[in-house]
Amino acid sequence: MFKPGPADEAVAIDCETTGLNVRTDDVITIAAIKIRGNRILTSERFQAVLRPDALMQAEAIKVHRQRQIDVAQGSLIWTTLPAFLHFIGGRPLVGYYVDFDIAMLDKYILTLIGIELPNPRIEISKLYYERKYGDAPPNTTIDLSFAAILKDLGIPALAQHDAFNDALMSAMMYVELRDMKDRGVRIARPRTRGAIFNPMGG
């Protein structure tokens, strides 16, 4: 895990959680997809459900804090995490607000092996910000939402709030944004002036 991963490889990750509070909420599913060069290796993915019960009643758990179920399902987390750590190795982790996902996972990983994930992190929203707003004049309205990134990059929106789909979309964003960075291509910001003249009429 401390060895750097194979050159030019990364792993896109995403977790579905019961909520946004790292201290009190739980991970329901994890998905991770390897990226090698410009290839997204969906055929070699990692997917695990840690809280099958929560899939059905995430809301209920959030409200009632049914800790006893955690205990019952707890074993799943401990059997899944080693496989996950093995899958990602030392590769950089790619994600949209990836710090949150890593913080969620670190909760368990710290307990399991006594350290937090040391992997380099690649933040999609940061890459996007550089491409789109890096040279923006002050007072530009900034929109770093997932939907805005999808739209600018022309990536089809897959059903969201599914860890695999979110990880996959992040992976697609990553390969495209990284290439744009290599080529020094920027994402156009909409002009404040009117729409482009249409020479064909209509």
Partner 1 sequence: MPNVFDATNPPFDRLTSQEVETLRAALDIAYFRPGETIIAQNAPASELFVVIKGTVEERDGADLQALLGPKDSFDSRALVHGKSGHAFVAREETLCYTCPKHVTLGLIQSNPRFASFFYREISHKLDELARDEEERRYGSLMRARVSELFLHPPVFINASDTIEAAGHLMREIGSNALFVRDGERIGIITGMNLSKAVVLRRQRIETPVREFAHFEVVTLRPDDFVSSALVLMTKHNKRRLAVHDGERYVGILEDIDLLGFLAGSAQIVAGRIDRASSEDELAVAAREISAQVRTLRRQGVRVEVIGEVVSDLNRRLLSRLFEMVAPSEIRTSGCLVVMGSEGRGEQTVRTDQDNGLILAGPVDKATLDTFRTDFSTALADFGFPPCPGNVMVRNSAWSKPFSDYLADFRRWVALPDESAHMNVAIFYDACAVAGDERLLTKAKTTLIDLIHGEQAYLAHFARAVDAFPTPIGLFNKLITSEGKGDALDLKKGGIFPIVHGIRSLAIEHGLLETATDKRIARLRDIGVLQASFARELSQTFQFLLMLRLDGQLAASAGTSGTLVRPSSLSSMERDLLRDAFQVVKQFRELVRHHFNLGMF
Residues forming the site for partner 1 (CB under 8 A) = 38-43, 45, 153-156, 158, 164-165, 168, 171-172, 175-176, 179-180, 183, 195-202
Nearest CB to partner 1, comparing residues 20 and 195? 195
Nearest CB to partner 1, comparing residues 2 and 197? 197
The answer to whether 73 and 51 are in contact (CB under 8 A) is: yes
CA distances from 117 to 12, 26, 90 (A): 14, 17, 9
DSSP codes joined into one string, 107-159? HHHHHHHSS-----EEEHHHHHHHHHHTTPPTT------HHHHHHHHTPPPPP
**Closest separation in Å from C-beta 72 to partner 1:** 27
**Closest separation in Å from C-beta 61 to partner 1:** 24
Element (H, E) at 43: strand 39-49
Nearest CB to partner 1, comparing residues 33 and 81? 33
**Closest separation in Å from C-beta 168 to partner 1:** 7
The SS3 assignment for 38 reads: coil
Nearest CB to partner 1, comparing residues 138 and 199? 199
**Closest separation in Å from C-beta 199 to partner 1:** 7
